């Protein structure tokens, strides 16, 4: 089936449920796409239809428990990559290797890591992009507007805060299906840094802080 037909089917599917696909940036052959906000199982079919519109096969990361026999083959055919999240650092290295070995890879990673509320994003998407030397594309789902698509492109730098500020600015007005389950756009590293700074400021002058 040609890409034009697939793209037409994707647009038709989104239109059927009243959604619109928005593209605000050029498509890169290899990139990490942030999938946010992620608060519902309905995000997945919207993602697949969006991939059809683009004429690409979106890859996505899922817990290894989602790939049992006999459906494992289907999950992989849909672009699924099983990972054991108990080995987070190894997961990043595996995804980087897969990115290097592929001529084209559109890797979608929901940084919230869960549909429930979480106090911070998981940093895997950021580390994969930096190690693989590929851009981060700000993919989004916005239920009030019934829009899904691609926003700006971010090339990770040496300034984590500046990079995250760009992400925060973009996602500030994006809303998931369940807003109460939508957490703040920040990484644990930012929380740790803020905690260390606060502890240093509280320490009496001339005495070292106990923060680590």
Q: Is the pLDDT of residue 84 over 80?
A: no
Q: Is 100 part of any domain?
A: yes
| 208 assigned to some structural domain | no
pTM (predicted TM-score): 0.84
Q: Mean pLDDT over all residues of the chain?
A: 86
* pLDDT 10s digits, 102-126: 999 999 999 998 888 989 999 999 9
Whether 85 shows a pLDDT value over 60: the answer reads: yes
Residue 153 forms part of a structural domain: yes
Question: Model confidence at 209, in pLDDT bands (50, 70, 90)?
Answer: very low
Residue-wise DSSP of the chain: --HHHHHHHHHHHHHHTT-EEEE-SPPPSEEEEEEE----TTHHHHHHHHHHHHTS-EEEEEEGGG--TTTHHHHHHTTEEEE-GGGHHHHHHHHHHHHHH-S-EEEEE-TT-SSS--SSB-SHHHHHHHHHT--EEEEEEETTTTEEEEEEEE---S-HHHHHHHHHHHHTT---SSGGG---S-BHHHHHHHHHHHHHHHSPTTS-----
15 belongs to a structural domain: yes
pLDDT above 60: residue 89: no
Please tell me the number of Cα atoms within 13 Å of 13 on its side-chain side: 16
- pLDDT for residue 197: 62
Residue 51: what pLDDT?
82
- Domain assignment present for 209: no
Q: What is the mean pLDDT of residues 50-75?
A: 85
Residue 74 located in a structural domain: yes
Where in the sequence is the domain holding 190, given as residue range(s)? 3-201
Six token digits for residue 191: 């929380």
Residue pLDDT, tens place only, 30-61: 999 999 999 998 898 887 888 888 888 889 88
The total domain count for the chain is 1
In a domain, 210, yes or no: no
Residue 211 lies in a domain: no
């Amino acid at each position: 089936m040609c890409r034009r037909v697939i793209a037409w089917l994707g647009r038709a599917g989104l239109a059927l449920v009243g959604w619109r696909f928005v593209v605000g940036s050029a498509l890169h052959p290899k990139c990490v796409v942030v999938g946010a906000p992620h608060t519902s199982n309905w995000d997945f079919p919207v993602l697949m239809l969006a991939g059809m519109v683009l004429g690409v096969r979106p890859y996505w990361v899922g817990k290894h428990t989602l790939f049992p026999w006999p459906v494992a083959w289907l999950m992989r055919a849909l672009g699924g990559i099983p990972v054991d999240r108990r080995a987070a650092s190894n997961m990043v290295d595996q995804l980087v290797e897969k990115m290097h070995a592929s001529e084209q890879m559109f890797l979608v990673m929901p940084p919230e890591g869960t549909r429930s509320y979480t106090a911070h994003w998981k940093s895997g998407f950021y580390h994969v992009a930096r190690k693989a030397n590929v851009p981060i594309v700000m993919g989004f789902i916005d239920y009030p507007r019934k829009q899904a698509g691609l926003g700006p492109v971010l090339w990770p730098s040496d300034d984590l805060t500046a990079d995250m500020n760009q992400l925060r600015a973009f996602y500030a007005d994006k809303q998931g299906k369940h807003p109460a389950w939508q957490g703040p756009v920040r990484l644990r590293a930012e929380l740790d840094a803020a905690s260390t700074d606060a502890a240093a400021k509280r320490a009496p002058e001339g005495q070292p802080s106990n923060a680590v």
